[in-house]
């Protein structure tokens, strides 16, 4: 005899649904069990909640936040779930036009999700399958660069030169393409105005830069670390990153970042600072 619970179970598990603000408390509780890996999403939800999809994207689940979670916005970020959950997320993602420029997250989730999406979204522009996720919860183990400071709003034009150079070098595309750079300038301006862009200037030129791209209640994720080509190999990256990490740690948060496995120079620098690997990310960059 069929159980009366079976139809309910099939309905609950049939597909991914969009979560709303009534789910926010439970979602944040789940994300707090993995605060470093979930920082990008936690920061957005803590600022915008779950009903402001125009501001940040959507959060999906299949069976409830404790069972599975996936963020869909400029990035598609699987956060929790089984193979069946990832299938449901992939089915929902391909139902309409693609809005994300990458699939990113813990490798054990991001790569299986990409496997389900690849036949629909075509070959990636680049697949970065091994990106150590690092964290630091104490003061840096090296002396920080005392000349690294917050960028001031009136310095945006000089900072943008370095930001564009970093983005182009790291991602392989010019962030000004498409709209002449207006969108990227707004994004950088927002980081500067919120006090999350840091740099060392010499003779009016940026020689080191980094940003705290995502800031949740428990974690600050550092991104965009860059040293001017003429200053590389002189310790600017190590001491500069230490300066930014110390500010994050002093705020009561863990400092984090993730790095490509093949970037041995950066990995050595972050190890000197005191960062330790806690997981592995993967990123699929899309055209």
Per-residue pLDDT of the chain (287 residues; tens, 9 = 90+): 333 333 333 344 579 999 999 999 999 999 999 999 999 999 999 999 997 655 579 999 999 999 999 999 999 999 999 999 999 999 999 999 999 999 999 999 999 999 999 999 989 999 999 999 999 999 999 999 999 999 999 999 999 999 999 999 998 889 998 888 899 999 999 999 999 999 999 999 999 999 999 999 999 999 999 999 999 999 999 999 999 999 999 999 999 999 999 999 999 999 999 999 999 999 999 98
- Nearest Cα neighbor of 107 from 127, 131, 123 is 131
**Rounded to whole angstroms, how far apart are CA atoms 261 and 131?**
5
Length of the chain equals 287
Strands 197-202 and 205-215: antiparallel
**Rounded to whole angstroms, how far apart are CA atoms 86 and 161?**
39
Residue 224: strand, helix, or coil: strand
Write down the pLDDT at residue 172.
87
Write down the pLDDT at residue 51.
79
Write down the pLDDT at residue 55.
54
Q: Where are the beta strands (DSSP E) in 81-152?
A: 102-106, 126-136, 149-150
Q: Which neighbouring-strand residues pair with 58? A: 72
- Residues 254/246, Cβ–Cβ less than 8 Å: no
Write down the pLDDT at residue 1.
31
């Amino acid at each position: 005899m069929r159980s009366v619970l079976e139809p309910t179970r099939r309905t609950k598990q049939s597909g991914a649904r969009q979560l709303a603000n009534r789910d926010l408390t439970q979602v944040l509780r789940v994300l707090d069990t993995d605060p470093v890996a979930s920082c990008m999403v936690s920061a957005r939800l803590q600022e915008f909640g779950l009903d402001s999809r125009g501001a940040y994207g959507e959060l999906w689940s299949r069976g409830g936040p404790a069972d599975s979670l996936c963020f869909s916005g400029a990035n598609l970020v699987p956060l929790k779930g089984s193979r069946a959950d990832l299938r449901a997320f992939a089915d929902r993602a391909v139902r309409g036009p693609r809005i994300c420029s990458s699939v990113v997250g813990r490798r054990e989730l991001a790569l299986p999700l990409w496997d389900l999406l690849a036949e629909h979204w075509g070959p990636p522009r680049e697949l970065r399958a091994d990106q150590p996720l690092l964290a630091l919860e104490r003061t840096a183990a090296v002396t920080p660069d005392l000349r690294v400071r917050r960028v001031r709003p009136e310095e945006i034009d000089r900072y943008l030169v370095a930001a564009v150079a970093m983005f182009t070098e790291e991602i392989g595309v010019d962030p000004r393409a498409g709209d002449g750079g207006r969108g990227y300038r707004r994004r950088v301006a927002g980081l500067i105005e919120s006090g999350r862009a840091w740099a060392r200037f010499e003779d009016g030129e940026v020689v080191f830069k980094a940003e705290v791209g995502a800031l949740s209640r428990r974690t600050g994720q550092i991104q965009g670390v860059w040293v001017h080509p003429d200053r590389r190999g002189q310790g600017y990256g190590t001491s500069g990153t230490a300066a930014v990490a110390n500010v994050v740690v002093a705020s009561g948060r863990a400092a984090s970042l993730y790095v490509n496995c093949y970037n041995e120079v950066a990995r050595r620098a972050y190890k000197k600072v005191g960062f330790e690997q806690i997981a592995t990310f993967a990123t699929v960059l899309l055209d």
